[in-house]
Amino acid sequence: MAQAATLSEAQIKRALRFCQSRKHVTRDSTILLFSIYTGLRAKELAALRIGDVYDAEGVPRTQFTLSAEQTKGARTRTVFINRQLRQQLEQYAQLRNITDAAAPLFRSQKGGHFSANTMCQLFLNIYKACGLSDASSHSGRRTFITRLANKGVGVRVLAALAGHSSIAVTQRYIDVNDAQMASAVELL
């Protein structure tokens, strides 16, 4: 099975523009950006609760801990939220009642938590409608890891952010392209 596509800035913008045409504009945009800015898996996104991401005053946290039940590897890990995602979460809070800390962060059509499979389908539907046939729910994760690697973040830090126990797994996520290789040899 081929790896999920790593998304370019233009592809991310295309997907976000498409989200503007959907019924749940802010929810879907927030899910997409959460994936790209945190590298969370679909299962982890589906399991998020309001209290994970917002404090008691409704302010987006700068970091939070995923419980072992929320992760793929059944190990807790800290997730850091950057400035851009916090801004998106502020907008999301304006449209969502965020007073119940135990409530799902992202509500499905039925009002409860997304299942991991339904979250994957949401990503596939968005990306397919944008003409990104190689993209999947894992594209945000690969984009997150590749972008940080391209900015010089060490593989050990990347592994910790991704929740990988092995740096070899993390290295498989990092895309390499001709432009990067050309830039690398210019460093000599």
Q: What is the pLDDT of residue 119?
A: 96
Instruction: Give 128 or 146, the one with higher predicted confidence.
Output: 128
Q: Does residue 175 carry a pLDDT above 80?
A: no
User: Alpha-carbon Rg of the chain, whole angstroms?
Assistant: 17
pLDDT digits (tens, 9 = 90+) for 46-79: 999 999 999 999 999 999 999 888 888 778 899 9
User: Which of these ranges, 12-16, 41-45, 65-69, has the smallest mean pLDDT?
Assistant: 65-69
Q: What is the pLDDT of residue 91?
A: 94
Helix (H, G, I), strand (E, B) or coil at 78: strand
Q: Does residue 174 carry a pLDDT above 80?
A: no
Count of Cβ atoms closer than 10 Å to residue 168 Cβ: 10
Q: What is the pLDDT of residue 165?
A: 80
The upper half-sphere exposure of residue 81, i.e. CA atoms within 13 Å in the direction of its Cβ, equals 20
Q: Does residue 1 carry a pLDDT above 60?
A: no
Residue in 35, 116, 122 with CA at minimum distance from that of residue 79: 35
> Residue range 95-101: average pLDDT?
89
Round the average pLDDT of the chain to a whole number and report it.
Answer: 90
Q: What is the pLDDT of residue 71?
A: 80
> Residue range 161-187: average pLDDT?
77
CA angle 110, 112, 118 (to 5 degrees): 75
Q: Does residue 110 carry a pLDDT above 60?
A: yes
Cα 53 to Cα 42, 94, 140, 187: the distances in Å are 16, 14, 18, 40
Model-wide pTM > 0.85: yes
Instruction: Give 133 or 80, the one with higher predicted confidence.
Output: 80
Find out whether 70 and 38 touch, Cβ atoms under 8 Å.
no
